[in-house]
Amino acid sequence: MAKLGVGVLGVGEMGRRHAENIHRLVPEARLIAVADVAQDRARQVAAELEIENSFSSLEEMLGCKELDAVVIATPDKFHAKAVAAAAAAGKNILCEKPLAITLADAHAALDAVAKAGVRLQVGFMRRYDSAYAAAMKRIEAGEIGEPVTFKSIGRDKDVPPIAAYQSAVNGMLLYTNTIHDFDLARWMMRDEVREVHTYATVVNLKFERGAIGNIESHVQAIYAYDVRTEIVGSKGAIFIGSVDKTPAIFLAPGGSTHILADHFLTRFADAYVAELRDFVSNMLHDRPPRVTGEDGLRAVAIAIAAEASHVEGRPRAVKG
């Protein structure tokens, strides 16, 4: 059976998980190499996964003859340039979100992909989560009628080290966290976001066909990693990730009345595997990716408008 040769760029927390999944849980793929600017980290991951190739740069890794595709899991600032470099080398690409942190870089990445004739998937793994996928099937089947309101909550358990933001290599909250909710809003409402109005970490949405939405993001919930989404339609509603129907629920670091996830790699462990399996299968069988570069671009455009709204204190139109 033919296998897709895959390399992983960036083997921090996310990239390491991708490498592990490719090596152990994606039968149609073969992990060829890993690369990281911290070469000792790349060597360690390669040794633990028992592969021969570890590099300190994407350019070195692209020289591997058996490499067919690249998974990009570097800090946010470097995504777009890595996409362009991998595309120029003729490699198909799975890029972690966000595609970029500026519209110019996002467009440049898509232009490079189009010029090279390769395929690009953006890592919105929530679309592969069983609960979200089941909800989307019911929406597409018309079971809730026309979606009219969207509500999404994304709360990380622990605040990232301040150095993660001070380094200027990672996007701020709207790009690293809320971008998932922006993608869900477009996907699940089957409509584009026309306008946003941001109040600190809360973003209100207006959709092209008149629906409205609300997204709340949080990076230090303390009690758990908590992701929930609601879509209300003209005939019914869907609630994803709701904790229970209990009148009152107590949540605290020392204990709670419900067992909740503590980390995104726990909550979406299966989704990350499903995402990679789908990407690999589509690349091997010459099919387009399910989550496209255009999806990545549109989510970035919403994030940029939301950031501008926060700074200016007024609604902003979303422009791609």
- Structural domain including 107 reads 4-126
Stretch 157-179: mean pLDDT: 80
User: Are 101 and 132 found together in one domain?
Assistant: no
Give the model confidence (pLDDT) of 57-77 as tens digits: 999 999 999 999 999 999 999
How do residues 231-287 score in pLDDT, each as one tens digit?
A: 999 999 999 986 554 444 455 565 544 556 778 888 899 999 999 999 999 999 999
- Residue 175 maps to a domain: yes
C-alpha–C-alpha distance, residues 259 and 241, integer Å: 12
Residues 120 and 36 in one domain: yes
CA-nearest of 284, 297, 311 to 1 is: 284
- The span from the CA of 190 to the CA of 11, in Å, is 34
* Residue pair 122/279 in contact by the 8 Å Cβ criterion: no
Q: Mark whether 209 and 199 lie in a shared domain.
A: yes
Is residue 85 located within the same domain as residue 193? no
Chosen domain end from 126, 156, 188: 126
In a domain, 39, yes or no: yes
Choose the final residue of a domain: 126, 157, 176.
126
Pairwise CA distance, residues 250 & 257, whole Å: 6
How many C-beta atoms lie closer than 10 Å to residue 248's C-beta?
5
| CA–CA distance, 273 with 256 (Å, rounded to integer) | 29
Give residue 2's pLDDT: 87
Q: What is the pTM of this model?
A: 0.93
Q: How confident is the model at residue 172 (pLDDT cuts 50, 70, 90)?
A: confident
